[in-house]
Structure 1
Amino acid sequence: MLSWRGLFLILAIWGAIHPMYYFLRFMQAEGGGLGGLIDAWYVNDSTTGLTWDLTIAAIALTVWILRDTLQTRRWSCLLAIPATFCIGVSCGLPLFAFLRLGRR
């Protein structure tokens, strides 16, 4: 049977690979780099709203990670912060849960 920790690891891996697949496909099709991808996040109100939604979620997750890490001194949990901002909340949140459950 799959443990909670194992489930969160699978979700972190999925959250890293699946979105990145689409980001890379977009950048290859458009012939641009990261700048073109970021421009696409603001092409209409729907994508702008989603971008802000994920940005606010990433900031809230970062505050939670920092607070939890300062209380528990589990420094490995800080790895979830760059995962959140370099890959996405879909990777950072389950990675934090995976690392946090490793305390047991």
Structure 2
Amino acid sequence: MNPLRLVYLGLAIWGAIHPMSYFIAWFQEHGWQLGPMIDAWYVNNATSGLVWDLTIAAIALTVWIIAEVAVRRNWWGLIAIPATFGIGVSCGLPLYLFLRTRPV
């Protein structure tokens, strides 16, 4: 595996573990309901802006993944979509880049 792919893989793993550690800590403190967490994302303009920034980035990434999968037929790339919306762009983007750069 080339060094660039290793960097993408490392970032995908880091992008999955690091944010998820904060989510899990929050759930343990406030209960395992998604509604209160979503409410917490909009407590002020800074967090609302960040949520919208990441949402727009996730949608753009999803459109790019679907467009490329339609052309390249790299079906494994679709795995990055649930990773993006289930974990975050910090996992989905490097995961897709890792999958996209595999030898053909």
| TM-score, structure 1 normalization | 0.94
Aligned to 2:46: 46
Q: Which runs of 4+ in 1 moved over 2 A?
A: none
Aligned to 2:59: 59
Aligned to 2:71: 71
Structure 2: where are the runs of 5+ without partners? Answer: none
Write the deviation string for residues 8-42 of structure 1: whole angstroms up to 9, x where unpaired.
00100000000000011111112342211111100
How many residue pairs align between the two structures? 103
Q: Is the 8 A contact 1:27 1:36 kept in 2?
A: no
Sequence identity (%): 61
The residue identity in structure 1 corresponding to 2:54 is L
Aligned to 2:94: 94
Structure 1: where are the runs of 5+ without partners? Answer: none
| TM-score, structure 2 normalization | 0.94
Write the deviation string for residues 51-103 of structure 1: whole angstroms up to 9, x where unpaired.
00000000000000011110100100000000000110000000000000013
Query: Is 1:30 matched up with 2:59?
Result: no
The residue identity in structure 1 corresponding to 2:22 is Y
Deviates more, 1:34-43 or 1:45-54: 34-43
Q: Is the 8 A contact 1:9 1:95 kept in 2?
A: yes
RMSD after superposition? 1.1
